[in-house]
């Protein structure tokens, strides 16, 4: 893809399978070794992963993702600095935008070359290997995404690096 994202035509997630934002926001962060901005001090933490329910996981596997996946909610309470992920790509489904002017951008040579306000409740595939981040005022409280990462997204890593990077053991 030329751009750093594309919307994909997957079915919408049934509302009843998604917990209320207040509930998600209060859940304890998951412990992941992957690169998320999750300092130990909760007061400084701006982005963290939260576990989804078993019901939602089952629905995602039955209806969309036949491949092996990692899934969590990502909660962001503020802007995300430009960065590249270890994974190559992921799928996002935005539940709460955080604010009407919050945008996701791609940077090249220190310049923002593309930006987009993602539509909530719509699946998109994001290229995580380009420099990307978010900016804008989080007027409505935290941003919450449902984020799916196929294991295949780490296939550029060798097995040892993969296991060290994300703490996930392959069989
Ligand atoms: Fe990222």
Q: Does 124 or 47 have the greater pLDDT score? A: 124
pLDDT of residue 45: 73
**Statement: residue 123 has pLDDT above 80:** yes
Question: What structural domains does the chain harbor?
Answer: 5-166 (2.60.120.10)
Task: List, as ranges, residues with CB under 5 A of the ion ligand 1.
Answer: 85
Q: Does 31 or 75 have the greater pLDDT score? A: 75
- Measured in Å, residue 66 CA sits from the centre of ligand 1 at 23
What is the rounded CA–CA span in Å between residue 163 and residue 11?
Answer: 31
What is the rounded CA–CA span in Å between residue 153 and residue 155?
Answer: 6
Round the average pLDDT of the chain to a whole number and report it.
88
**pLDDT tens-digit readout, 35-87:** 544 455 556 678 888 999 999 999 999 999 999 999 999 999 999 889 888 88
pLDDT of residue 91: 98
**Statement: residue 145 has pLDDT above 50:** yes
- Measured in Å, residue 39 CA sits from the centre of ligand 1 at 16
pLDDT confidence bin for 163, thresholds 50/70/90: confident
pLDDT of residue 157: 84
- Measured in Å, residue 83 CA sits from the centre of ligand 1 at 6
- Measured in Å, residue 38 CA sits from the centre of ligand 1 at 13
Share of residues in the chain with pLDDT > 70 (%): 87
């Amino acid at each position: 893809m030329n751009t750093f994202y594309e919307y994909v035509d997957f079915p919408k997630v049934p509302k009843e399978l998604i917990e209320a934002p207040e509930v998600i926001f209060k859940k304890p962060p998951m412990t992941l070794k992957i690169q998320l901005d999750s300092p130990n001090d909760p007061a400084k933490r701006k982005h963290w992963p939260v576990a989804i329910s078993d019901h939602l996981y089952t629905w995602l596997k039955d209806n969309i993702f036949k491949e092996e996946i990692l899934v969590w909610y990502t909660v962001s309470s503020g802007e995300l600095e430009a960065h590249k992920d270890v994974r190559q790509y992921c799928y996002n489904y935005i539940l709460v935008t955080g604010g009407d002017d919050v945008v996701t951008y791609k940077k090249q040579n220190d310049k923002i070359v593309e930006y987009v306000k993602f539509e909530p409740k719509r699946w998109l595939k994001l290229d995580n290997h380009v420099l990307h981040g978010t900016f804008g005022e989080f007027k409505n409280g935290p941003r919450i995404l449902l984020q799916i990462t196929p294991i295949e997204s780490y296939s550029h890593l060798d097995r040892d690096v993969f296991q060290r990077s994300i703490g996930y053991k392959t069989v």
